[in-house]
């Protein structure tokens, strides 16, 4: 049942996600054609995680699916780390109030007012608030997707043609609807609807993986050419990064979702050639991918605060600096995850998901 190729894909996915999120530490002016093309390829890596989840839902869980155990497992290893780590901004705020009390009552009162205005519901229900760590919006949305598992079980039992029709219809809706904006509380439900077809394509590709491997093996680079063409076309049309808007307003066609589904297909086929190989570095990254996901947002948060406090910025439009900082964030995230696993070997998955 274990697929090395999908595990390696998970490792590559978290690299894309970390690099995509590190972009927000920089002030790119979006006037470089080459930079924008590369960044259009890097951003949107969350799609890979959704695709892999759908793929594994069919490949691992479908045959002996137990809804209760499935939800318990996801609660323990996905929801619990989210809740635990999401409390860090609250503890930081409480610490500032406590320290402010020693320094000055006016400082303490200032932070206390900030505590009273803390958007608790939005912070935990959507994973998005002014104090949330980057990327945490993914958890409330994917938990809802996991809760919808009975619907996806019914989807698996349909004929292939019906599955494809449903997935493509929902994909067309997603193309025009786009991902939710971060300031709307209902964006979590919009994201469920937006990413549902990607989850379904993951299921379909798992069902028909042998056919896909036989038909497309050796031809995956043609898919990659189309992916690059889409990324370039996005730049030509002035589109950059992920598409966000309210669900029922028109904002053009979301080319990013199409590009990323094709990239999923490319990596699925390309990595299959390494099915019987042990790629130790990718395996290490994949095994710790959820830990890296949960921790990298905290590291980016610390760097962003340090930039403001120390009044410094990275070289404008320096792609080399961007790559170096992204590598640093990734390495620190890996080491932090391994440290937590060493410190709490039996409870690390509850704390950081790995």
Domain ranges of the chain: 4-352
Question: How much is the pLDDT for 117?
Answer: 59
Question: How much is the pLDDT for 156?
Answer: 95
pLDDT tens per residue across span 175-194: 999 988 876 778 899 999 99
pLDDT tens per residue across span 80-118: 999 999 888 878 777 766 665 555 555 556 556 666 656
Q: Which tokens go with 276?
A: 């019987």
CA dihedral 346→352→353→354, nearest 10 degrees, is -60
What pLDDT band is residue 126 in, cutting at 50, 70 and 90?
confident
Question: How much is the pLDDT for 91?
Answer: 80
pLDDT tens per residue across span 221-280: 999 999 999 999 988 887 777 888 888 888 889 999 999 999 999 999 999 999 888 899
**Residue 127 backbone class (left: φ over 0; alpha: ψ -120 to 50; beta: rest):** left
pLDDT tens per residue across span 4-62: 999 999 999 999 999 999 888 876 666 677 888 888 899 999 999 999 999 999 999 88
pLDDT tens per residue across span 277-325: 889 999 999 999 999 999 999 999 888 888 878 877 776 667 788 888 8
Rounded Cα gap, residues 228 and 78, in angstroms: 33
């Amino acid at each position: 049942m274990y697929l090395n190729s999908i595990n390696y894909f998970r490792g590559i996915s978290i690299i894309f996600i970390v690099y995509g999120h590190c972009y927000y530490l920089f002030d790119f002016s979006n006037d470089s054609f080459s930079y924008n093309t590369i960044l259009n390829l890097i951003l949107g890596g969350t799609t890979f995680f959704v695709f892999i989840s759908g793929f594994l839902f069919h490949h691992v869980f479908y045959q002996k699916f137990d809804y209760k155990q499935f939800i318990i497992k996801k609660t323990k290893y996905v929801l619990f780390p989210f809740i635990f780590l999401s409390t860090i901004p609250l503890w930081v705020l409480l610490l500032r109030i406590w320290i402010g009390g020693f320094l000055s009552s006016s400082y303490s009162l200032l932070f206390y007012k900030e505590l009273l205005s803390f958007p608790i519901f939005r912070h935990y229900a959507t994973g998005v608030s002014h104090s949330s760590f980057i990327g945490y919006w993914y958890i409330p949305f994917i938990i809802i997707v996991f809760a919808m598992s009975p619907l996806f079980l019914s989807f698996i039992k349909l004929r292939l043609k019906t599955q494809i029709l449903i997935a493509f219809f929902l994909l067309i809706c997603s193309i025009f609807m786009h991902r939710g904006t971060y300031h709307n509380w209902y964006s979590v439900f919009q994201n469920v609807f937006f990413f549902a077809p990607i989850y379904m394509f993951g299921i379909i590709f798992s069902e028909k993986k042998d056919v896909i491997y036989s038909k497309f093996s050796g031809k995956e680079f043609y898919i990659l050419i189309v992916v690059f063409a889409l990324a370039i076309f996005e730049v030509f049309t002035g589109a950059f990064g992920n598409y966000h808007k309210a669900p029922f307003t028109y904002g053009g066609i979301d080319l990013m979702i199409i590009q990323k589904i094709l990239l999923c297909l490319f990596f699925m086929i390309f990595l299959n050639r390494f099915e019987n190989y042990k790629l130790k570095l990718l395996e290490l990254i994949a095994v710790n991918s959820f830990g890296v996901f949960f921790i990298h947002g905290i590291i980016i948060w610390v760097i962003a605060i340090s930039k403001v406090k120390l009044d410094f910025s990275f070289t404008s439009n320096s792609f080399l600096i961007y790559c170096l900082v992204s590598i640093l964030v990734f390495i620190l995230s890996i080491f932090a995850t391994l440290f937590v696993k060493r410190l709490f070997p039996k409870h690390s998955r509850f704390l950081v998901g790995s």
